[in-house]
Amino acid sequence: MRILLIHSDYLKYETKTQTRIAEKIDEDKKKGKFEDVLVVFTAVEKEDEENPQNVIEKAALEIEDVFGKVKAYKIVIYPYAHLSSSLGAPKFAKGMLRDLESKLEDNGLPVVRVPFGWYKSFQMACKGHPLSELSRTITPEKEVEEDKKEYEESNLYIMLNGELHDPETFFYQNKDLEQLVKYERGCSESSGDEPPHVKLMREKTLADYEPSADVGHLRWYPKGRLIRDLLSDYVYRLVTDRGAMPVETPIMYDLADEAIRVHAEKFGERQYRMGGKKELMLRYACCFGAFRVLSDSFLTWKNLPVGIYELSTYSFRLENKGEVVGLKRLRGFTMPDLHTVCADLEQSLQEFDQQIEMCHQTGEDLNINYEVIVRATQEFLDENREWVYQAADKIGKPVLLEVVPKRKHYWIAKMDFAAIDYLGRPIENPTIQIDVESGERFGITYIDQEETEHYPIILHCSPTGSIERVICSLLENSAVRMEKQAPMLPLWLSPTQVRILPIAERHLDFALELAQEMKDTQIRVDVDDRPDRVGKKIRNAAGEWAPYVIVIGDKELESDTMSVSVRETGEKVEMTCDELLKTIKAATKGMPFRPLPLSLLLSRRVKF
């Protein structure tokens, strides 16, 4: 691949005539104008077919590096065949350009792509500084044949009622599934805007970037920490109720351990490593410690299936700097990890079914819509087709299936649950994976009824995905629904569940008595005792997404009932204190509780 990078004051283009290889485009793509852009004139070459993924990775890094240095507003990928005399096939070139665009979007960069296969007129104005004109030649590294085959032959289908459908012709009643399919096919488009949750996490004082740490590490404020802790309690209860045993293991491991080194290599290069007398690696998941605990344990067929659970605070992944964004993609994050040891494939599939129900339950408890992807090797699908269809049916709606030609990773099948954000991009959350390698690699064995030793199959499951991504999904979900209903968190996760607003100072004592009564029954309540008008207090309560708001005036001092503003419905309801308490308790039944880690009185709170 050859690229010419021009930092320009503006780029203006207009399509004139389409060639026989032109991609189909909407009317709004036929012309465009962009200001302060890094224009990337791009020619895809025949040699790129040897290892297209490697070329895309390397090209994206080069573009990201230049983009960061020139500080342009947007990247524009401009197909430009004139840069090379050894051009790749048109169909392949179109796919490469779409994949490059998707890669840059995944890295959090604002990018657009000019249509392929059209004769176009264009105008631009190069800025003329030392970095404004640069060229790069991207050559592919040699790729093993198996990896190339998987890249070329992975196939996508829609599963519904035991039948497979072509994603291109399937009738989508669900916009989120359609967005997911576009993303997986590499043909989704993004505005390049910052995801709404970044603004919301700051506006609601949940979390923010920590400027004194490595990029991708956050500081958490009291309300954000409360939500994280509640989610951690939730997952703990979810897995222990199903018999999982909690453990805690170290966050760093010695790569001189052969099993750990090989397993780490499966993840690739995005690892935090430390030199010195030993080469150490910060974990990117709890697998290493969990597998070492299991390898040192005596397991028999009577124990299986058996699960061990750990909440990793923190796991570390050295994501590219441009990929890091808000709560969606971090270098340090909190991951609930459940590993379940199963005797054989039959038992692992039975356990997998139960874990599907567990992951599905998290979507209901969090009020998050998940779209589901089943990924399986061709061999696994051929031998377990009926189970795959039955597992998809548990979701109760169409499911995306990816079939890979050969096993490349430690898993033979997996199920991923993804929320779709405001910009139409997936946020991968819960996952279940069937691991057929790690038992043998780490020396994990069990004794069967005939006292014969076997390597087990291990299920990896994160019932919610990373805690940060759960919060990201909740905030993005609120942004999606904002036009139709008031945004809010689930009641059991709302830092303030009830906000009490005394109109005047003479109403404060009653408001405090009422607040204490609620606090004693494990409801998070606070009192806005600041000397503001009641209208401003109401607006502030709405800005903090308080689910229930009570205004205390003379009427409330003389009556058993009070007017309660219910955020979820937008209604005002007359009820007694006992009725409100019962309503909240019914809505939060079975969910964890922690007290509000802030002053009861808003006048005494620190402003972060």
pLDDT band at 158 (very low <50, low <70, confident <90, very high): very high
Cβ proximity of 421 and 197 under 8 Å: yes
Place 415 in a pLDDT band, splitting at 50, 70 and 90.
very high
Q: Residue 188: what pLDDT?
A: 63
- Tell me how far apart the alpha carbons of residues 163 and 168 are, in angstroms, rounded to a whole number: 15
Residues 175 and 139 in one domain: no
Q: Does one domain contain both 232 and 332?
A: yes
Query: Does the pLDDT at position 147 exceed 70?
Result: no
Q: CA–CA separation, 348 vs 412, rounded Å?
A: 12
512 DSSP 8-state letter: H
Q: Does residue 158 form part of some domain?
A: no
pLDDT at site 191 = 55
Q: 3-class DSSP state for residue 449?
A: coil
Better-predicted residue by pLDDT, 516 or 173: 516
pLDDT for position 268: 66
Residue at 157 is within a domain? no
Q: What's the confidence (pLDDT) of residue 49?
A: 86
pLDDT band at 326 (very low <50, low <70, confident <90, very high): very high
Out of 109-118, 242-251, 481-490, which region has the weakest mean confidence (pLDDT)? 481-490
Instruction: Judge if 372 and 508 occupy the same domain.
Output: no
Q: Are residues 253 and 338 in the same domain?
A: yes
* Confidence at 247, pLDDT banded by 50, 70, 90: very high
Domain boundary among 108, 143, 178: 143
Q: pLDDT (tens digit, 9 = 90+) per residue, 230-246?
A: 999 999 999 999 999 99
pLDDT per position as a tens digit, 433-466: 999 999 999 999 999 999 999 999 999 999 999 9
- Give the N- to C-terminal CA distance of the chain in Å, as an integer: 48
- 527 falls within a domain: yes
Last residue of a domain, one of 416, 444, 479: 479
Domain boundaries, position 549: 491-604
CA pair distance 487, 254, nearest whole angstrom: 46
| DSSP output for 20-86 | TTPPP--GGGSEEEEEEEEEEEEE-BGGGGGSHHHHHHHHHHHHHHHHHHHT-SEEEEEE-GGG-SS
pLDDT score recorded for residue 269: 63
Listed residue (239, 209, 206) closest to 223, CA to CA? 206
Band of pLDDT at residue 194, cut at 50, 70 and 90: confident
- On whether both 473 and 495 belong to a single domain, the answer is no
What CATH number corresponds to the domain at position 383?
A: 3.30.930.10
Identify the residue with better confidence: 265 or 474.
474
pLDDT at 148 exceeding the cut of 70: no
User: What gap in Å lies between CA 70 and CA 62, rounded to an integer?
Assistant: 13
What is this structure's pTM?
Answer: 0.75
Using a 10 angstrom Cβ sphere, with 0-12 exposed, 13-18 middle and 19 or more buried, the burial of residue 23 is: middle
CA atoms within 13 Å, Cβ hemisphere of 357: 8
Q: Does the residue 444 lie in any domain?
A: yes
pLDDT score for 278: 82
Q: Which residue has the higher pLDDT, 305 or 150?
A: 305
Q: Please report whether residue 486 resides in a domain.
A: no
What's the CATH code of the domain at 553? 3.40.50.800
Query: Exposed, middle or buried, 52 (CB in 10 Å: 0-12/13-18/19+)?
Result: buried
Task: Read off the DSSP letter of residue 369.
Answer: -
Structural tokens at position 518: 């609620």
pLDDT at 241: 95
Q: E strands along 203-356, which residues?
A: 207-209, 218-220, 245-246, 252-254, 273-274, 280-282, 299-300, 306-316, 332-342
CATH label of the domain that carries residue 62: 3.50.80.10
Contact between 232 and 467 (Cβ < 8 Å): yes
- Both 598 and 449 in a single domain? no
Domain count of the fold of the chain: 3
Could you report the per-residue pLDDT of 387-406, keeping only the tens digit for each? 999 999 999 999 999 999 99
pLDDT of amino acid 24: 86
pLDDT for position 192: 59
pLDDT at 322: 74
- Confirm whether 485 is domain-assigned: no
| 330 pLDDT more than 50 | yes
Which residues, 6+ apart, have CB-to-CB distance to 463 below 8 Å? Answer: 235, 238, 239, 336, 338, 355, 358, 359, 362, 430
Q: Indicate the pLDDT class of residue 408, thresholds 50, 70 and 90.
A: confident
Which of the two residues, 319 and 202, has the higher pLDDT score? 202
242 in the same domain as 105: no
Answer whether residue 156 is part of any domain.
no
**Same domain for 249 and 379:** yes
Confidence check: pLDDT of 190 > 60: no
Instruction: Using alpha carbons, list the distances in angstroms from residue 162 to 22, 213, 305, 348, 593.
Output: 36, 50, 28, 21, 41
Pairing between strand 133-137 and 155-160?
Answer: unpaired
Residues 200 and 170 in one domain: yes
Using the 3D structure, point to which of 479, 502, 528 is the last residue of a domain.
479
Q: What's the pLDDT at 174? A: 84
Report phi then psi at 16, rounded to 5.
-115, -60
Same domain, 359 and 432: yes
Task: For residue 492, give the amino acid letter.
Answer: W
Whether residue 26 contacts residue 63, with contact meaning beta carbons closer than 8 Å, is answered with no
**Would you state the pLDDT for residue 491?**
97
Q: How confident is the model at residue 185 (pLDDT cuts 50, 70, 90)?
A: confident
Same domain membership, residue 524 and residue 401? no
Closest-CA residue to 314 (of 336, 288, 334, 338): 334
pLDDT above 60 (res 142)? no
Mean pLDDT of the chain: 91
Residue 345 phi, psi dihedral angles, 5° rounding: -65, -40
Using left for φ > 0, alpha for ψ between -120 and 50, and beta otherwise, residue 272 falls in beta
My answer on whether 137 and 202 are in the same domain is no
| pLDDT confidence tier of residue 514, bands split at 50, 70 and 90 | very high
Name the strand (E) or helix (H) holding 376: strand 371-377
Could you read off the pLDDT of 82-124 as tens digits, one per residue? 888 788 888 888 899 999 999 999 888 999 999 999 899 999 9
Is the pLDDT score of 3 beyond 90?
yes
| pLDDT on residue 145 | 42
Per-residue confidence (pLDDT) for residue 146, from 0 to 100: 40
Determine the average pLDDT of the residues in 52-61.
Answer: 91
Q: Is residue 148 domain-resident?
A: no
**Above 50 in pLDDT, residue 150?**
no
Mean pLDDT of 581-608: 96
